[in-house]
Amino acid sequence: PVQVIIPTYNQPKLLAECLSSIGATKLSYPVEVIVVNNGHPASLNMLGHQPFFKIIQTGGRNLGWEGGLIEGLKHSTSEFVMFANDDIFIQAAQNNWIRKMMETFSNQEIAGVGPSSNFVMGAQHMTFRTPYDSIEVPYLIGFCALYRRKVLDEVGWYDESYFLDGEDIDLCWKIKKKAYRIVYYPEVSIIHIKG
């Protein structure tokens, strides 16, 4: 299965909608979600328990976005991991979203793939049109990006010295320096609620 790592901070309603949308599509491709709770330990009690996700508590410490992803990676065992915001929403028409993104990894040179969205900069914006199934891009925006885990291990994960800006671009640069490719898959479109 693909493991989706989602750091969150006191956003239980948004996270519940996000998880519900992921759960509704999990039958088309096996997926497990690792939620890293940077907020109050009781803030996610409303979610209950579902077999497709688990919650990692940080004890009320806010590790930040990068720290939350790194903590999630420590609990991840999958060959492919997705980093995602807690405010993404998968529409029912996109029920094959992970399967489509995973298809790009048949090319061993590809280390990362990202979807289009309504609230994202650059080529990943849904208004950008291309006749190709996927196109190579210089970077992926971190709101939702799927990576080959062995490449993340090779380049050293996220740099925690970045605080909320630029860490996703820095990660992609490190990946490309190792001669791997980063691609954008425009057919997969994900709603990004807050941006």
Confidence (pLDDT) at 46: 86
For CA atoms 139, 142, 146, 152, give the dihedral sign. Answer: positive
Q: What is the pLDDT of residue 164?
A: 56
Percent of the chain with pLDDT over 70: 94
Instruction: Output the pLDDT for position 123.
Output: 78
Q: What is the pLDDT of residue 126?
A: 81
Q: What is the pLDDT of residue 34?
A: 97
Provide the 3-class DSSP secondary structure of residue 136.
strand
> Contact 105/148 with Cβ under 8 angstroms?
yes
Please give the model's pTM, rounded to 2 decimal places: 0.92
- Confidence band, pLDDT 50/70/90 cuts, at residue 132: confident
**Residues forming a β-bridge with 189:** 116
Q: Is 60 exceeded by the pLDDT of residue 161?
A: yes
Mean pLDDT of the chain: 90
**What pLDDT sits at residue 130?**
78
Using the structure block, give the residue that is written with the tokens 């793939």.
113
- What is the predicted pLDDT for the residue at 125? 81
Ordered alpha helix ranges (H), the chain:
12-23, 64-74, 97-103, 149-155, 167-177
Whether 160 has a pLDDT exceeding 80, the answer reads no
Looking at per-residue confidence, does 164 or 28 come out higher? 28
Rg over CA atoms, the chain: 16
For residue 162, what pLDDT is reported?
54
Residue range 51-74, pLDDT digits in tens: 899 999 998 899 988 889 999 999
- Alpha-carbon distance of 141 to 162, in angstroms, equals 14
The 3-state secondary structure of 158-177 reads: CCCCCCCCCHHHHHHHHHHH
Provide the pLDDT confidence category of residue 31 given band limits of 50, 70 and 90: very high
What six digits make up the tokens of 85?
A: 């915001």
> Average pLDDT of 4-20?
95
Tokens at residue 109, please? 């040179």
User: pLDDT grade, residue 119 (50/70/90)?
Assistant: confident
For 33, list phi and psi in degrees, rounded to 5.
Answer: -115, 130
Give the tens place of pLDDT for each residue, 33-42: 999 999 998 9
The token pair that represents 26 in the structure block = 């999990």
Question: Which two three-digit tokens encode residue 8?
Answer: 């969150």
Tell me the pairing of strands 2-8 and 31-37: parallel
CA dihedral (184, 179, 105, 194) in degrees, to 10, reads: -40
